Amino acid sequence: MAAEASPARMVEKPQVAGEAGTALPNAEGGGAREIEDDMRWKPVLGLPCELIVDLPLPDFKIADLLKLRRGAVINAHWRVGQEVPLRLNGTLMGWIEFEVMGNNLAVRLTELA
C-alpha cells in the first residue's frame, strides 16, 4: 500500500497478515503456539521500553520555534481521527488515533506495522 500525501502517511504503511491482538494460526491448531510464545517472553516482560507517539508537524520552521512561549498552541495540521505513527524503542510498531478518556488523552491502536 503506498504512502498517502497527507502528513499521517509520511511512512509507508505495509499490509498486515492479521488483525491486532489475534494470533496467527499454525499447523498444530493455534492454541499451543500462544502458550509457547508466552513462556518465551516471560524472562523479558519486566524490561523497560520507550513507547513514543510520533506527531510530525509539517511546515514547522525555526521561526516558529523561536516564537514559542508558555501556553502557546501549535497547529499540528492533523485532522481529528487521522492515524499517527507509534514507535517502540525507535521501531515503527503501528498506527494510533487519539481519544479522550475522561480528563485524559489516550491513544487507540488502529493497526500494527
Q: What is the torsional sign of CA 97, 14, 78, 80? A: negative
pTM given for the model: 0.53
Average pLDDT of the residues in 26-35: 58
pLDDT for res 30 = 56
What proportion of the chain, given as a percentage, has pLDDT over 70? 70
What average pLDDT does the chain have? 75
CB environment 41-58: b (16+ within 10 A), e (fewer):
eeeeeeeeeeeeeeeeee
For the chain, list the domains and their CATH numbers. Answer: 7-112 (2.30.330.10)
The whole-angstrom separation of Cα 79 and Cα 55 is 12
The answer to whether residues 31 and 61 touch, using CB atoms and an 8 Å cutoff, is no
Alpha-carbon distance of 34 to 30, in angstroms, equals: 7
